[in-house]
Amino acid sequence: MQRSLKKNAVVVRGSGMTIDDAVDVARHGVRTELSSDESILCEVRASRQCVLDAIERGIPMYGITSGFGGMAHVQIAREELEALQTNLPWFLKAGAGDLLPAADVRSTMLLRANALMRGVSGIRLELIDRLIIFLNAGVTPQVRCFGSIGASGDLVPLAAIAGAIAGLGDAFLVDFRGETMGARAALSRLGLEPLTLAPKEGLALVNGTSAMSGIAAGCLYDARQLLALSLAAHALALQGLGASLHPFHAFIHDHKPYPGQRFAASRMLALLYGSTLIHDELDLGPKYGGGKMIQDRYSSPWSRA
């Protein structure tokens, strides 16, 4: 239930990412690294080459050689394929409301990098690495809370991130360790040059549910902590009341079809193990004496200890 001891780094390899990993990076600044596994890197490169080969062969591809959405019937001239991808984040730069918390944006960036490292998105490794550079440098794109429906991806929030890491313009703002500045100014401070988005790359950066997933990871982590706290408080209350351990025995809960119920009961047994402040009628034999009740009272206004 508790967060593990701070790790040296979270390795992005396209799989195996956990909620604790997301929280470690997003909230606690744990360093992030791209996998050095050559088999993974080869998949990323091969995916990129697949896109280039398909363009060379003249194969029609949605969002690469065609327009988006209702413009999918419009064929894009080869000399305009890069402009199509560069225009996409600008087109989607339509967020509104307050800024999304930095931790949620950082979690989003980590999960987007992890998704792209699957090696099926046709994107250059250099762009995935940009996400990692920003995370490790404490540079967080400014993303607005409203604007994404999530149905075909978190297009608007991810576009704010895409425009920032590529340095499409200073209208894409970032928080650079507490200082707000344009994306190109941030890249200059990091010693990086703006990148032109190649065919497929704008689409690959924005078309995913990483923002929803990043926010959900933080919510689930907090829910686990609240559950752990509530169970611990319950265990303290039971000991203060001198209650019985009997209601938590596995025999009762193993006959119920609810895994959450079984988990809670087992955690209570673990928390109360060895306590001398509670009693367990199963361990007292056939003669239950000492003035103790065979079962705890239900709470009621007229109950007396």
pLDDT per residue as tens digits for the range 225-256: 999 999 999 999 999 988 888 889 999 999 99
Q: In the listed set 182, 217, 252, which residue is the last one of a domain according to the structure?
A: 217
Measured distance CA(284)–CA(291) in Å, rounded: 13
**How many domains does the chain contain in total?**
2
Do 181 and 267 reside in the same domain of the chain?
A: no
Give Cβ neighbours of residue 212 (< 8 Å, ≥ 6 apart): 148, 150, 154
305: containing domain: 242-305
* Residue 17 belongs to some domain of the structure: yes
**Shared-domain flag, residues 180 and 293:** no
In this prediction, residue 281 carries a pLDDT of 62
Q: What DSSP state is assigned to residue 246? A: G
What per-residue confidence (pLDDT) applies to 35?
Answer: 97
Residue 130 has a pLDDT of 98
Whether residue 190 is found in the same domain as residue 266: no
Last residue of a domain, one of 148, 183, 217: 217
**pLDDT at residue 3 in the model:** 46
Q: Are residues 43 and 183 part of one domain?
A: yes
Same domain? For 164 and 300 the reply is: no
Q: Tell me the torsion sign for CA atoms 219, 155, 52, 167.
A: negative
In this prediction, residue 289 carries a pLDDT of: 52
On whether the pTM is more than 0.85, the answer is: yes
Is residue 237 a part of any domain in this protein?
A: no
Considering the domain architecture, whether residues 25 and 69 belong to the same structural domain is answered as: yes
Cβ-contact 180, 144 below 8 angstroms: no
Question: Does residue 229 lie in a domain region?
Answer: no
Task: Just list the catalytic residues.
Answer: 62
**For the chain, which residues score pLDDT lower than 50?**
1-5, 305
- Same domain? 197 vs 119: yes
Helix (H) or strand (E) holding 175: strand 173-176
Same domain, yes or no: 122 and 194: yes
Which H or E run includes 301? Answer: none
Whether 205 and 251 map to the same domain: the answer is no
**pLDDT of 299:** 67
CA-based R_g, the chain, Å:
27
Q: What is the pLDDT of residue 187?
A: 98
Same domain, 108 and 178: yes
